[in-house]
Amino acid sequence: MGHYEEVELTESSVNLGPERIGPHCFELLSVLGKGGYGKVFQVRKVQGTNLGKIYAMKVLRKAKIVCSAKDTAHTRAERNILESVKHPFIVELAYAFQTGGKLYLILECLSGGELFTHLEREGIFLEDTACFYLAEITLALGHLHSQGIIYRDLKPENIMLNSQGHIKLTDFGLCKESIHEGAITHTFCGTIEYMAPEILVRIGHNRAVDWWSLGALMYDMLTGSPPFTAENRKKTMDKIIKGKLVLPPYLTPDARDLAKKFLKRNPTHRIGGGPGDAADVQRHPFFRHINWDDLLAHRVDPPFRPSLQSEEDVSQFDVRFTRQTPVDSPDDTALSESANQAFLGFTYVAPSVLDSIKEGFSFQPKLRSPRRLNSSPRTPISPLKFSPFEGFRPSPGPPEPMEPSLPPLLPPPSSPPPTSTAPLPIRPPSGTKKSKKGRGRPGR
């Protein structure tokens, strides 16, 4: 009759599939950050695969998200993008799950902390240091754009370092999908100091906005503050739309040229704004010493390597958070069935969880005070929380020399755009040097 093997039919041998993931699978170790929708914890996996692995757990309260259709859409977009996009310089999603009142994203733990922290510590970066970080970010943005995704919230707080010192883009809540060549979108969102002028004037925008933001970030790295700042939002927006770009004399010719090309107000004239996208940026002489294949493969040594004692080391994060007792407070908020429909399909287990997950971390700080006395707060803008033209009008006065105005990317909207009244000339800083101010992060 031949040889047969007897197999007992049990739950462990039938219907094998992804493990059942929930809060019980993770031990809370430290608080890494806190925002309006919830907290970010460092956690250890205590059940199932990858036992003992350290992750970052982002916890969001459903009740606060479902109040806004836009926030609900952004949350779903963040989760979907994290699942679909895999790249060496983009944070990895390991798990996503939900309870009755909360959403959970389990991400690789980026223990090197925020680029913001290191920039604050150094004041400014040398050009070689800035070149390394800008090159890695360029590859990340280029990959997102190739997938039809624009990022829209590039700033030092959303760039993390892994344990080796390589960057990872995090916080995809303001991303927009399906923006391929020729497509535009209209949502007013981002962080004012890094927002492209075409977002501010609401003529429609595309992936070129990310290259403007990279230019603002480059300027911030090399000078100590973004290129256009003022004491309030209105004046900051006015400067972004009309102000003269002032570059310090100590920048090299290549750095000056790239910054100018990033910060072109006309997106069709902006480097990266054409069909070549990231490839045009990569060819600029500022990056002439970068071997892009080696950079992508992590074969280039970062300029800074975090000093870490263990996988659980949280020394690169703000002690105002890490000293707190980590508690994922209960949330018994009962959402209606229709409200819960918005989160169908949220649960996810990454294929890579069966292998080792790279070390890293994700964090979502949203507010910070300026690094310089004459800067305005880095204020993220949600479409429903701030109307860009509420109380905003260009200041009257004689015109100043400036670039040609932005071309219309779409027919004018039904509501009138800002008036074309000529602005006051932007005065250069006075000879008196202002004192620096710390880059603290007030909670939102």
- Contacts for 150 with CB less than 8 Å, ≥ 6 apart: 144, 175, 176, 179, 185, 205, 206, 207, 209, 210
- Residue 1 pLDDT: 53
Among residues 329, 354, 379, which one ends one of the domains? 354
Q: Does 185 lie in the same domain as 256?
A: yes
Q: Does 299 lie in the same domain as 380?
A: yes
Q: Does 190 lie in the same domain as 273?
A: yes
Q: Does 147 lie in the same domain as 295?
A: yes
Q: Tell me the residue range of the domain where 94 lies.
A: 23-111+308-354
Per-residue model confidence as pLDDT tens digits over 20-75 = 788 999 999 999 988 766 789 999 999 888 899 999 999 988 877 766 666 777 77
pTM beyond cutoff 0.85: no
CA 84 to chain centre: 17
Q: Does 391 lie in the same domain as 320?
A: no
Any catalytic annotation for residue 71? Answer: no
Q: Are 361 and 90 in contact (CB under 8 A)?
A: no
Q: How many domains does the chain have?
A: 2
The alpha carbon dihedral of 280, 215, 303, 168 has a sign of: negative
Is 273 part of a structural domain of the chain?
A: yes
- Residue 340 pLDDT: 61
Which CATH number belongs to the domain containing residue 297 in this structure?
1.10.510.10
User: In the predicted model, is pLDDT for residue 100 greater than 60?
Assistant: yes
Among residues 294, 322, 354, which one ends one of the domains? 354
- Catalytic one of 71, 128, 153, 210: 153
* Paired sense of beta strands 54-61 and 38-45, if any: antiparallel
DSSP codes, 126-183: -HHHHHHHHHHHHHHHHHHHHTT-B----SGGGEEE-TTS-EEE---TT-B----TT-
- Residue 360 pLDDT: 34
Q: What is the mean pLDDT of residues 393-419?
A: 44
Of residues 80 and 158, more confidence is placed in 158
Q: Where are the alpha helices (DSSP H) in 147-300?
A: 197-200, 208-223, 233-242, 253-262, 278-282, 292-296
Question: In this predicted structure, which of 82-96, 160-174, 324-338, 411-425 has the lowest mean pLDDT?
Answer: 411-425
Q: Does 202 lie in the same domain as 66?
A: no
Give dist(CA 422, CA 202) in Å, integer.
19
- Residue 298 pLDDT: 96
User: In the predicted model, is pLDDT for residue 391 greater than 90?
Assistant: no
DSSP state of 346: -
Which CATH number belongs to the domain containing residue 33 in this structure?
3.30.200.20
Tell me which H or E stretch contains 79.
helix 69-84
Q: What is the mean pLDDT of residues 72-87?
A: 81
Q: What is the mean pLDDT of the chain?
A: 76
User: In the predicted model, is pLDDT for residue 275 greater than 80?
Assistant: yes
Give dist(CA 276, CA 142) in Å, integer.
10
Give dist(CA 401, CA 422) in Å, integer.
11
Per-residue model confidence as pLDDT tens digits over 120-132 = 889 999 999 999 9
Per-residue model confidence as pLDDT tens digits over 303-334 = 999 999 999 999 999 898 999 999 887 765 66
Closest CA to 402 of 218, 253, 225, 238: 238
Q: Does 190 lie in the same domain as 137?
A: yes
Question: In this predicted structure, which of 94-98, 112-116, 260-264, 367-371 has the lowest mean pLDDT?
Answer: 367-371
Is 77 part of a structural domain of the chain?
A: yes
- Residue 2 pLDDT: 57
Q: At what angle do helices 208-223 and 253-262 cross, to 10 degrees?
A: 140
> What confidence tier does 193 reach under pLDDT thresholds 50, 70, 90?
very high
Query: What tokens were used for 58?
Result: 């982002």
Give dist(CA 370, CA 123) in Å, integer.
12
User: In the predicted model, is pLDDT for residue 364 greater than 70?
Assistant: no
